[in-house]
Amino acid sequence: MKNCYYILIFLILSAAPFLTLAQSIKGSIKDQNDKPVPALNIVLEGTGMGTITDTEGQFTITNIQAGKYKLVVSGIGYLSQRQNIVLKEGDELILNLVVTENITELQSVEIIGRKETTYKNESSFIATKTATALKDIPQSVSYVTKELIQDQQAIRTGEIIKNVSGVNQFSFYDDFTLRGFRSNVQLINGLRITSGFWKQPLTINLERMEVIKGPASALFGNTDPGGTINRVTKKPLDEKRQSLSFTTGSFQTFRALADFTGPMNEQKTLLYRLNLGYENAESFRNMQFNNNIVIAPSISFLPSEKTRINFDMVYNRSKSRLDRGQAVFGTGDLYSTPISFATGAVNDFLNEDNLFITASLNHKFSEKITFNTSYMKFAYAEDLLEHRTANRYAKDGTGRDIPTLLEMQVFLRQRKRFVDNLTTYFTIDFNTGKSVSHKLLVGYDYIQETVPLGGGFSVASGYRNAANTGIIGTFNPANARNYLLDSRGNPIPNVPHFDLASGNPYRIADISKYFFTQSVIVPSFYSINGFYLQDQIKIGKLQALIGLRQEYYNDLFSYKTADEQKIQQTALIPRIGLVYSLTQHINTYLTYVEGYNPQTASSIANPNAGGPFDPLTSKMIEVGAKGEFFDKMLSANLAIYQITQNNILINAGSPTNPDLLRQIGQERARGFEIDFIGRVLPNWSVVINYAYNNAIISKSSNESEIGNQKPNAPKHQGNFWTKYVIDRGKLEGLGFGLGGNFVDERVPSLNRGQRLPKYALLNAALYYSFNKFLISLNINNIGNKVHWVGGYDYIRLFPGAPRNFLATVAYTF
């Protein structure tokens, strides 16, 4: 019996280590906005033990031996945390941690997707090529997030950009005026693209749209002085999100969109995103339509905390007709034809393919040195048949205009264009002394654009000669005997005139009856080599940005011919900016930047423009203030600026060559902008902005032009949008949106004493969300206001849409 007693004591003592209470760590992790953060890695360094936070930011690690440990918290887009902890026998440690978003990691090359879900965006890399808080950038940067895009059911750049101060449409095309200057350069994720120009592509894969105001040549080379539009595409997220939406509405509109994203493996080192879009829609414009298919996959590979790789592809197949605008009677009465009146034939078509593929790499050699590189290949193909005006009214036998008939021409064109774009740079963080910090950027860009051999076009225009065997370009009544005349003595056109007084002038055209002139599309090639330095310096409350770019522009004139020759232009482009923090939430700034844009045959992309021309040069001085209010929910910006540009090209107004350009002395824009964007309450979002811009011709060899307002550049422009959502009670989930746009009067591009009237539009929306469904109804131009967004002249006006609605059902799962 005694032996049994000793055996029992021995067994109890032997089992004691296993009977001790197991140690554990539990806790929650939130961000600075008190929101739970899922998918963070929680690791006990050196033990192999760890876990990840759940959707509520909670985590638990159990069966830990007593002792001292280092707890490491890390995750994509957040600063890593290390915390020393001690676990005693039986401890259950409770930790409530707050993590800080790592702006640099989130947006160095836009590899990791933005997780915010409001109208407000806090940082960008477009203005510095480094992830920088917007209030610390010494230049005005505006943006529109995907949340605002969704609430307005905007699908194209023109619908989105109206939310940005100082920006308005120039025409129906992918063509805008920024601070009074026409902009032809656009970026995708900071890389240059060139499109077909004629159609604004669907923007279903946009995370946001940004506009850096003023010249951006110090970072991106030859850009426009008024500003540069950058389209930031959606990137894969490390959390699963899936959504479908279906839209119908006015003008026989039907759209279907899909967005899928999430991790592809358990370790969340391989992420994907897939955006799909389909559109089939008519238009308020006669015979106009849009058929679009968009496929946009994206993959991110995160092999380590130091390396991020991203692949993007966007393919857009578009079938439509080219809309050259509304023409009115030669009397100049803007209301003499309905805004639906479009020129053309039933069998016209415009088929376009847009494709770009991007590869990006971000690697951190250390906490102080980061390497970024991105390469994009962009390809465009066009197949076009159009009946369009010859930009003048038809002539009678005496040579006078017939105010209800348009002289017509026909284009048959097939062409391709390719753009290669490489950007690569290092960012180096270091200090000089104890109080001066630097973020040094050292980079190189290479850009080339190629129009290859193999393109061609045919043009039918003019009037039939007397023998009806060919054409004469224009009608000269003094030589009427040389023309084929009808019974009334009027010249017979090669392409029948378009009758503005007819209720239905649309026919299937027999193009075999026309006399065509065959031509080839002149191949072209240009390349850009850019070397740049930039230093962001911080000394207490003062920040300075100093940048310098050396650019080499090379154009192969008479490309692919025996006469090919290299034309080179160079530019040294400086940029200086200062930011001073008045308070924790309010910064003031001052900046001086210069711009540069060559004007050779390749860059103009118009072999009939004339020339050669001197390069555009521009300068901007801007002062302003940026602030954050209502616990950083609302941002406010004020910018005051002056921009001058020299060596501008304008249309020469040639009756025989409508593409001919001429160079004038100087243009100047002076103005200011005020912007508010964000939330006043957690459930009340606002966007309010106003811009005053006085853009004029300030120097010209033709003195009568001095002081003239620049084309399609309104002096006053404003916009507002507000959304309120009921967040409690029986009406929870019901939301209301209200907005408006105001644009002052403008002169069209070919200013012949013509003016486009000012307009104000009112828009509204109704939302209801329940479970995972969202139903929305948007009504635009409630007052059914007749208005024009831009124009070249009274033969090519670009009217805005009348009252219309869109209804959408979306499901997130």
Helix (H, G, I), strand (E, B) or coil at 22: coil
- Strand 796-799 and strand 759-770: the pairing is unpaired
The average pLDDT across 414-441 equals 94
Of 311-315, 399-403, 406-410, 728-732, the one with minimum mean pLDDT is 728-732
More confident residue, 756 or 31: 756
Task: For the chain, state the CA radius of gyration.
Answer: 31
pLDDT in tens, 171-196: 999 889 999 999 878 898 889 887 67
Average pLDDT over residues 771-777: 94
Instruction: Evaluate if residue 18 carries a pLDDT over 50.
Output: no
E strand or H helix at 151, and its extent?
Answer: helix 146-151
Of 373 and 67, the one with more pLDDT = 373
pTM equals 0.84
Please spell the DSSP secondary structure of 563-609, one letter per residue: T-EEEEEEEEEEEEEEEEESSSSEEEEEEEEEEEE--SHHHHT-TTS
Residue 104 is predicted with a pLDDT of: 43
Q: Is 792 or 558 the better-scoring residue by pLDDT? A: 792
The DSSP letter of residue 179 is T
> At 40, which amino acid appears?
L
Looking at residue 616, its pLDDT comes to: 86
Helix, strand, coil shares of the chain as percentages rounded to 5?
5, 55, 35
pLDDT above 80 for 411: yes
pLDDT score for 779 = 98
Which pLDDT value is given to residue 361?
94
**DSSP codes of every residue in 395-432:** E-TTS-EEEEEEEEEEEEEEEEEEEEEEEEEEEEEEEE
pLDDT score recorded for residue 598: 84
**Mean pLDDT, rounded, for 467-471:** 95
204-229 in b/e form (b: 16+ CB < 10 A) is bbbbbbbbbbbbbbbbbbbbbbbbbb
Where residue 17 falls among pLDDT bands split at 50, 70, 90? very low
Model confidence at 106: pLDDT above 60: no
Going through 54-158 in order, the beta strands assigned E by DSSP cover: 58-64, 67-75, 78-87, 92-98, 123-124, 132-133, 141-145
pLDDT of residue 756: 94
60: Cβ contacts below 8 Å, ≥ 6 apart: 24, 25, 26, 51
Q: For position 663, what pLDDT does the model report? A: 79
pLDDT tens digits, one per residue of 686-737: 999 999 999 998 988 778 888 889 999 999 999 999 999 998 889 999 999 9
What is the distance between the alpha carbons of residues 198 and 324, in angstroms, rounded to a whole number?
A: 9
From the list 148, 162, 143, the residue with the least C-alpha distance to 211 is 143
CA dist 303 and 665 (Å) reads 55
Q: What's residue 102's pLDDT?
A: 61
For 595-645, the pLDDT digits (tens) are: 988 887 666 666 667 766 888 899 999 999 999 998 888 999 999 999 999
Band (pLDDT 50/70/90 cuts) for residue 9 is: very low
Helix and strand numbers, DSSP H then E, in the chain: 6, 46
| Per-residue pLDDT at 115 exceeds 60 | no
- Model confidence at 107, in pLDDT bands (50, 70, 90)? very low
Q: What is the pLDDT of residue 510?
A: 95
Q: Where residue 19 falls among pLDDT bands split at 50, 70, 90?
A: very low
- Given a contact cutoff of 8 angstroms between Cβ atoms, the answer to whether 202 and 240 are in contact is no
Tell me the per-residue pLDDT of 271-319, one tens digit each, with 9 for 90 and over.
999 999 999 999 999 999 999 999 999 999 999 888 999 999 999 999 9
Instruction: Please state the rounded mean pLDDT for residues 130-140.
Output: 92
Domains and CATH numbers, the chain: 18-101 (2.60.40.1120), 111-231 (2.170.130.10), 232-463+491-812 (2.40.170.20)
Q: Which of 79-88, 297-306, 585-594 has the lowest mean pLDDT?
A: 79-88
Helix (H) or strand (E) holding 674: strand 661-681
Q: Nearest CA to 121 among 584, 635, 722?
A: 635
Average pLDDT over residues 656-674: 85
* 353 closest CA partner among 304, 308, 326, 320: 320
Helix/strand/coil (H/E/C) assignment for every residue in 433-492: CCCEEEEEEEEEEEEEEEECCCCEEEEECCEEECCCCCEECCCCHHHHHHECECCCCCEC
Residue 86 has pLDDT above 60, yes or no: yes
Integer Cα distance of 481 and 475 in angstroms: 11
Question: CA-to-CA distance for 647 and 616, rounded, in angstroms?
Answer: 5
**CA torsion 248→250→252→254, rounded to 10°?**
-20
Q: Residue 33 has what pLDDT?
A: 67
The residue-averaged pLDDT of 156-168 equals: 93
Q: What phi and psi values does residue 107 have, to the nearest 5 degrees?
A: -135, 20
State in Å, rounded, how far the first CA of the chain is from the last one: 68
Residue 4 to residues 1, 16, 626, 790: CA-CA distances in angstroms? 5, 19, 83, 102
Distance set, CA 364 to CA 269, 304, 367, 813 (Å)? 16, 10, 7, 35
Burial of residue 295 (CB within 10 Å: 0-12, 13-18, 19+) is: middle
Neighbours of 9 (CB within 10 A): 10
Neighbours of 573 (CB within 10 A): 24
Encode pLDDT of 356-367 as tens digits. Answer: 999 999 999 998
Contact 393, 403 (CB under 8 A): yes
